[in-house]
Amino acid sequence: MRLQGKVALITGGASGIGLATVHKFVREGAQVVVADIDRERAEKVVAEIEGDGHPGAAAAVQVDVSVYSQVEAAVQRAVDVFGKLDVIFNNAGIAGGKALLDHDPAVDYEPMIRVDQDGVYYGILAAGRQFRAQGTGGVIISTSSIYGEQAAELAFTYSAAKAAVISFTRSAAYELAEYGIRAVAITPGRVGTPIINQFSEELRTTFASEQLRGKLTEPHEIADVVAFLASDEANVINGTVVHVDDGYSVFKKRLDLPTF
């Protein structure tokens, strides 16, 4: 098991990519703190893990990642329960969009920046300080998006926040390398999470067509990559943006070509 002996904190751990990653990490031997704004759901995940035959492998904590003191407390929860922290997966996020000129900044800008951008900054800062104090190094993995590298419809704020995650990752890798800390960002494409699955079948079909396999990525497929990045097998991956988008970013649309 590639994560045997490691302790991880996963934000947004009660649903979607975060939930899949919690289960993957436990199967790979890690002890995990399930951090989510919904305490009840986080505790349910812990109960599921225990019921699957992994008693003591997980603990829950309620966290609003837009509040630094709560992110600090989540890091401390990992240390209090499991004795240390080796990995943080800054995954919690919100989505939504509106045409720029229709924005109400208090609704369409500030909340998303606080969660998707500030929440990652807080996770990097709190975990980085803990890793330095331990003197054992650590791994910081943060969820950006394909939108962090390109313009997209109705995504002015979301794209900006996800671009910031990429910049944070590169700067953190540079600044924290002396402490044995790695930082990596992932850029998912169209993933079948509750956020996307709430949409109409027609829209989900359109989303699927934007990827090379012609289907939505499953959360567990992202979790598989995150587990690898958290492992010692990925020690040379640092300051890197890892595309987990099934080719979304390499083409615009398929064309019906004429006969030559």
CA–CA gap between residue 168 and residue 121 (Å, rounded): 7
Q: Residue 4: beta bridge partners?
A: none
The model carries a pTM of 0.96
Q: Sketch the domain layout of the chain as residue ranges.
A: 7-244
The predicted structure's pLDDT at residue 159: 97
104 to each of 92, 142, 245, 246, how far by Cα in Å?
Answer: 23, 27, 30, 34
Contacts of 128 (CB under 8 A, 6+ apart): 138, 140, 172, 176, 179, 181
CA–CA gap between residue 113 and residue 110 (Å, rounded): 5
> Which positions are catalytic?
158
Domain 7-244 sits in CATH 1.10.10.10: no
Mean pLDDT, to the nearest integer, of 136-151? 97
CA–CA gap between residue 123 and residue 8 (Å, rounded): 12
Give me the chain's average pLDDT, please.
96
The sheet with strand 58-62 has its strands ordered as 58-62, 31-36, 7-11, 87-90, 138-143, 181-188, 240-244
**pLDDT tens, residue by residue, 75-120:** 999 999 999 999 999 999 999 889 999 999 999 999 999 999 999 9
Contacts of 240 (CB under 8 A, 6+ apart): 169, 173, 184, 185
Give first-to-last CA distance, the chain, whole Å.
Answer: 53
